[in-house]
Amino acid sequence: MKTIKNVFINFKKYSFLMKQLIIRDFKVKYKRSVLGVLWSILYPLMVMSVMALVFSNMFKFSMEGVNYLVYLMSGLIIWNYFSEATNNSLTAVVGNFSLINKVYIPKYIFPIAKCLFAGINFLFTLIPFFLIVLLSGNSAEGTKCAINIYYLLIPVIFLGALMFTIGIGYFLSTVTVFLRDVLYIWGIVLTMLNYFTPIFYSLTILPVWLQRIFRLNPLYIYINSLREIVIFGNRPTALYILAGLGIGFVTMIIGMIIFRKKQDKFVYYI
Amino acid sequence: MIRINNVSMKFNLGVEKDNSLKQMFIKILSFWKRKKKKKDYFWALKDVSLDIKKGEVVGIVGTNGAGKSTLLKVVSGVYKPTEGSVEVNGKISPMIELGAGFDGELTARENIYLNGAILGYSKEFIDERFEDIVEFSELRDFLDVPVKNFSSGMTAKLAFSISTIVDPEILIVDEILSVGDIKFQEKSKHKMMSMIEGGTTVLYVSHSLESIEKLCTKVIWLDHGKVKMIGDSEKVCGAYYKEIMGREKKRGKKE
């Protein structure tokens, strides 16, 4: 109980540092670029346009009665967030070693700062995303998306995804300290996961037994909940939303426990 | 104020560690061949105990690699001791490596906030003391220049100004009074003296026996991680000087 209280006190005390670290990441990222922070919106928009072009025109992926563009985008924004946040978390501890070795700072701040940084970038991508939701589609084909009351559930989905990513981020930043190979291995894992997550295809094209396995992918849960609301205007079942939250929470706690157990050994390994 | 109980600190030697699969594989292979394992660790600190009371100014002397900086890092919480424990009551301001938190891409202004946050200051506090920091650092004209374009002296001046703006209860200093030009050195010495007179507890590492003798009430002599002598500053400094110069003389005779 006391440690939990301490964590909260520390969290308050160091929230300013966290803010500074995130601001630093932003400033350094867009240093000397003419468009600056605008890239946070433009970059994903352009990458998504390329993907949309490739999958809907070249490979002719399409789904009956479904706004494929929104389908693709909703998968991509969550995927891109996950991929950016975990990639940044890999070096969250290793990359800040010059600090960790010299000044006392609670180390758990670094992975969270990286995930929040990616999270803010993610919020920027929501602007083009919702523009596409509103502007795309064709009412004659029934692919027009409408804003509905269930949009209120979207932040809950994102919260689940954020916690899930923070958990993975903690785990990755810890393992990287002891085993630098993870830097490369994670790239391979991400590529694999990218194809195993139904981002540009629908689960239904897979055999049933494979569908069952794929449904267990937490990223799919978040993406699918978002799609249910945005594309189909359905309310995802409470159980489904709770599952997303629960998985996120448990992952975060496990990641934190691993990080906490190992953090005193970091200084020996860098 | 600070209580160090039988602290030992073990380090692995060398840069190459088992932090890649290749290394692990090699290790397994060499185990097969029953190669004798080399001793690849050493004790940077061995069974160090020390009590520091409020307001005391404690100097630490010793040759390079004697464990002085390690001891400071253990006290400031950067390292967790392998054995033993450290109790600290009071807010610490560590001045171990000045400017450790600087980001070269950011301007001096931005770095003041970043580095202040790293030292645990709040935003309000930095806002309030911003002018003082700028004034002390003598870098007003360079506030919006990225720190990577600063000379090393300028960087050090900025860092010193940020870390001394607080009135800490415990000040940990690792050989930083020789920062900047002569004028700034004088200024930083004054600043230091006024902090000491204000009742701050100080842990001070320096190779300048003169300044240690002048500032400190108590001196510890570390040798290969062990406490060799502890006590009155004049006595310890004298003994330390004699031993070191004695070693030199002996070596001189041999050659």
Per-residue confidence (pLDDT) for residue A87, from 0 to 100: 95
Closest CA to B125 of B78, B74, B91: B91
Last residue of a domain, one of B119, B136, B167: B167
How many other C-beta atoms lie within 10 A of the C-beta of residue A45? 18
pLDDT (0 to 100) of residue B14 = 56
**Residue B143 and residue B35 in one domain:** no
Among the three residues B124, B150, B167, which one is the final residue of a domain in this structure?
B167
Among candidate residues B113, B141, B167, the one where a domain is terminated: B167
Question: Is residue B248 a contact partner of residue B71, using CB atoms and an 8 Å limit?
Answer: no
Same domain, B192 and B237: yes
**pLDDT at site B255:** 52
Residues B75 and B162 placed together within one structural domain of the fold: no
Domain count, chain B: 2
Same domain, B66 and B185: yes
Domain co-membership, B79 together with B31:
yes
Q: Are residues B123 and B59 in the same domain?
A: no
Residues B102 and B203 in one domain: no
A103 with B100: Cβ contact below 8 A: yes
Residues of B in Cβ contact (< 8 Å) with A101:
78
Q: Let me know whether B192 and B210 are in one domain.
A: yes
Q: For chain A, which residues score pLDDT lower than 70?
A: 1-4, 7, 270
- Could you tell me if B222 and B68 are in contact, meaning their C-beta atoms sit under 8 angstroms apart? yes
Q: Pick from A259, A237, A229: which is nearest to A78 by CA? A: A229
Query: Domain check: are B120 and B6 in the same one?
Result: no
Distance CA A157, CA A222 (A): 6
Is the ipTM above a cut-off of 0.95?
Answer: no
Contacts of A268 in chain B (CB under 8 A): 11-12
| Closest chain B residue to the Cα of A30, Cα to Cα | B105
- Sign, CA dihedral A208-A214-A215-A216, equals positive
Kindly identify which residue of chain A lies nearest to residue B75, measuring between CA atoms: A104
Strands B83-88 and B92-95 turn out to be: unpaired
Same domain, B125 and B193: no
Same domain, B66 and B172: yes
Question: What pLDDT shows up at residue B39?
Answer: 60
Q: Which of B79, B100, B110 sits opposite A98 (nearest CB)?
A: B100
**Whether residue B246 sits in one domain with residue B190:** yes
Q: What is the pLDDT of residue A221?
A: 94
In this structure, what token pair is assigned to residue A73?
Answer: 């985008």
Give the model's pLDDT for residue A92.
Answer: 93
Low-confidence ranges of chain B (pLDDT < 70): 13-24, 26-39, 96, 176-178, 250-255
Chain B within 8 Å of A14 (Cβ-Cβ)? yes
Give me the domain span that covers residue B234. Answer: 2-91+168-254
Q: What is the CATH number of the domain that holds B34?
A: 3.40.50.300
- pLDDT of res. B20: 64
